[in-house]
Every structure is written in C-alpha cells, then in structure tokens.
Amino acid sequence: MRVFSRVVEQRSFTRAAEDTGLPRSTVTDAVKQLEARLGVRLLQRTTRQVSPTLDGEAYYRRCLVILADVEDAESAFAGSTPKGLLRVNVQGRLARHFVLPGLPDFMKRYPGIQLYLGEADRFVDPIREGIDCVLRVGEVQDGDMVARQVGLLREVTCASADYVARFGRPESFEELTGHQMIGFWSSAIGGLMPLEFTIDGGIRHITLPSIVSVNGADMLAAVMRQGLGIMQAPRYQLEAELHAGSLVEILPDNPPTPTPVSLLYPRDRQLSPRVRVFIDWLVHEFAMRRDGKRFIE
C-alpha cells in the first residue's frame, strides 16, 4: 500500500522507487500484485506518465487512511516515540531565522525522526512531491490545504540611505507622490504589489512608479540596496541594516499590516505522529518569539 501510494503521488514508478529506496522492478511487481489480488486495474500507464484509474484513486484514498491508522497503532504503545522520515518544505531565510535555531532540541527530543528540509519559494504540491508539510509566508489560497497559522510577521517600509539622500524621506502618505518603488511581481494578482500602509485604523494602498521590477524576495532587497526605490518586507530580514543606518525606515508610524506565517498540509491526509509533533513544536517556537513582539505579532 505504501509503495502504491508513492507511485500515485509521484506519477512515476522510477521516482517512487527513489523515494522508497527500492529497486524499480520491486515497485512494479508490488503494484502488479495489488492489481491481481484486487482484480482491478489501479493505474493507467503511458510512456510519459502514470495516473490512477477511478478504482485506483478510490483505493489510494483508503490506503492513506489505513497507513495512518497503522502508524498511529504502532506509536500508541507506552514509551513509543514518533519515528521515520519527515519531509518539510520551507522558505530558506524564514527557516534560518525561526526554525534552525531550535532544531537541535527537536532532533534530540525525537531521535527516531529523520528530517528532510527542502528549500523553495515556489508553489509546492505536497501530494505529488511527497512533502508532509510546508511552511509559507502570506495568505493561503489553496482550498485543498489545511493551514495552521503560527505567527504574524511585522513588516517594514524602507529605502537605502543613498536613495533618501538623493530623493528625501517622505514624512506622510501624501509625500510618497513623486517617489519610486521596487516593483514586486505577484503571480497571485497578476501584477505589481502595491505598497500598503495603516493610517488612522484603516489601510491605504499606493502603487508608485518603478524602474525595476522583480519576482523574488532576495532580488527585491538587493535592488533596493542599490538605491533604486522603496520596498516593503518582513522586518526581521532588514533589522541589522536598519540599525546600522544603511537602510532608512519610511513612515514608521504607518507600517504595513503584518503577514501571516502558516504550516500547510493536505486536507485529505491524516497526520502521522511525526508530523503532529513537528507542527506542535514549530507552533511553540514561534509562540516563544512572539512574546518579544520585535518581529512577530
């Protein structure tokens, strides 16, 4: 069942074999044995892709429940601790700041878990890629995923000291007119993200002219450091440069609204014990940092 499930999720016998550490021939034989035992065809095979039949999709859903039940049963005995491979996908900078500092404690607490941390800013399909959970920044729009919010990142508006020396520092929302921003292209809205400010209990947006636009967070900050415009980003990424004076905060009394950080996992997949303990641990890690409210609300 576990082998068959990985074939369905990976849409490939070869990738399923790599995931499970088994020879491809063993994976193929396992699926053939299942089909012979059940008397139905579970998979459609083409030269380019493998996909489940209607019977195969129904059987796959039952397999997920059964496998989760087996894992729960085995972990229910006294003294049993979660074990096995845990695959987590994270945004690199976020992980380095909020996840990695406490990771040795997690691994010491659960020595039976082997953790795989994948780093990506792109959209990740947990089922297809065999990922147990995903740590992401921003609003969650995927209805197939359960989102557990772990924190709210404080945001900051800033520009380089060189930009401010050349163009001045706006002291009000109205004084932003005549300035320029680094454009950040968002696939979610199909265009540039406007700058956002909280003013008198409300939210106001403005889209300034931009001579450079990007689609990556690291590139956004790099272009801003070259004095080419104003940008907004999580404060924790830029705090050291703000403190040193190489960056200047713009409209500090009118910050952008905080950005949610969430752990995502497939809605139709029962959580294994190792995933549950990781989620609980990470929620606790963010809660501890929230007390200071310097970077997290």
What pLDDT digit, counting tens, does each position of 118-131 carry? 887 666 677 667 68
Residue 191 pLDDT > 90: no
Condensed to tens digits (0 to 9), the pLDDT of residues 213-268 reads 998 888 999 999 999 999 999 999 999 999 999 999 999 999 999 999 998 887 76
The chain-wide mean pLDDT, for the chain, equals 87
Lowest mean pLDDT among 10-24, 79-93, 105-119, 244-258: 79-93
Closest listed residue to residue 99, CA positions, set 109, 90, 108:
90
Percent of the chain scoring above 90 in pLDDT: 50
Lowest mean pLDDT among 11-20, 39-48, 154-163, 268-277: 268-277
Domains of the chain: 2-75 (1.10.10.10), 84-152+259-290 (3.40.190.10), 155-249 (3.40.190.10)
* pTM of the predicted model as reported, rounded to 2 decimal places: 0.72
Which residue in the block uniquely carries the two structure tokens 């300035």? Answer: 179
Residue 136 pLDDT > 70: yes
**What's the confidence (pLDDT) of residue 165?**
96
**What's the confidence (pLDDT) of residue 122?**
62
Lowest mean pLDDT among 28-42, 74-88, 255-269: 74-88
Which residue in the block uniquely carries the two structure tokens 């940008």? Answer: 231
